[in-house]
Structure 1
Amino acid sequence: MFFKMNKRINHVGVYVGNNKFVHAGRTTGVTISEYDNYWSRRYWQTRRFI
C-alpha cells in the first residue's frame, strides 16, 4: 500500500488482511494498524508483488 502525505509517496505498508496493514514509522517502529479513515484519506494505490 502506498500513501501520499504531501503530494508525494512517503509512506508504504503491507496489507495483512482483516482491514489491517504493517508499516514502520521513525518514532513508532514497526506497527500493525487498522486501515481507518486517517489512512484511507492518504491512500494512493496498492501493488502486488510476487
Structure 2
Amino acid sequence: MSLLTIILNILLPPLAVFLKHGVGSAFLISIVLTIIGWLPGVIHAFIVNK
C-alpha cells in the first residue's frame, strides 16, 4: 500500500476505494459508511484496499 493510498484512506475513504476498485459495491458501501460516520468509512477503506 502506497503512502498516497494511506493518506486517501484517512482523508477521503470513498475516493481511495474508487481509485482502487472503481464504481461498484465496495465504493457504494464506502460512501454509506462515511456518511454514517467518518471512522467506519476509514476502517472499510483500509480493509478493502489492503
Using structure 2 for the length normalisation, give the TM-score. 0.26
Q: Which has the higher helix share?
A: 2
Larger radius of gyration: 1
